[in-house]
Amino acid sequence: MDSDEATTTEGARRMNRVERREQILAAAIVAFAEGGYAGTTTDQVARVAGVSQPYVVRLFGTKADLFVEVFDHVAGQILERFERVAPGPDAKERMADAYTDLIGDPNWLRVLMHGFVVGAEPAAVGTRAREVLGRVFELYRSRTGADVDAARTFVATGMLLNVLSALEAPRHVDEDENLAALVECSIGRIARGTR
């Protein structure tokens, strides 16, 4: 029997190596989103995935290797959404819509933020994080025809929304009127579709 297509004694198909890897990657996204790079262990990832810690290490290597793969996966998915926006007169709105869709998965945004926070270590994450920022900036300009100031504003607004999301600010607007005003003028406009 092929080890990648193993079956249990009851005849139910077990996950093959590729499926198990995807399961662990999904679990790692959740774990790193919650704990960040420094606060997450491969043992925690294994528990979320329902596998052993040695199995996680066998598939991904070190925690740094796993985080790099998680960050690269999330960054790739985010960039893919922006890359699907075709140039044209409504590209600004479609770029904003693409970003708004990302807010629906706070784990992706948190992983992205954790990647920006670790910055240079692991080095591969710092390199990829810088590439992501530059690529979003370039995509906004090339898709919308916007100048550098408008593209900078798009990236900066996205980072503000990431921070507000990571802080769960919309759930805490009753704590501070200034926070409430900031949430309303940024996230509130998106929720109402008035950007």
Residues of the chain with pLDDT under 70: 1-12, 188-195
Q: Residue ranges of the domains in the chain?
A: 64-192
pLDDT at 10: 53
Q: Residue 159, exposed/middle/buried by CB under 10 A (0-12, 13-18, 19+)?
A: middle
Q: Reduced to 3 states, what is the DSSP secondary structure of residue 13?
A: strand
Written as one letter, the residue type at 128 is R
Q: Reduced to 3 states, what is the DSSP secondary structure of residue 91?
A: helix
Q: How far apart are CA 110 and CA 134, in angstroms?
A: 19
Q: How far apart are CA 27 and CA 32, in angstroms?
A: 9
pLDDT at 121: 77
Q: How far apart are CA 116 and CA 119, in angstroms?
A: 5
The CA-CA-CA angle for residues 138, 140, 146, to 5°, reads 100
Go through the chain and tell me how many residues it has.
195
pLDDT at 3: 45
pLDDT at 189: 58
Confidence (pTM): 0.81
Q: Residue 182, exposed/middle/buried by CB under 10 A (0-12, 13-18, 19+)?
A: middle
pLDDT at 43: 97
pLDDT at 11: 53
8 A C-beta contact, residue 161 and residue 151: no
Taking alpha carbons only, the member of 181, 178, 186 closest to residue 159 is 186
pLDDT at 94: 94
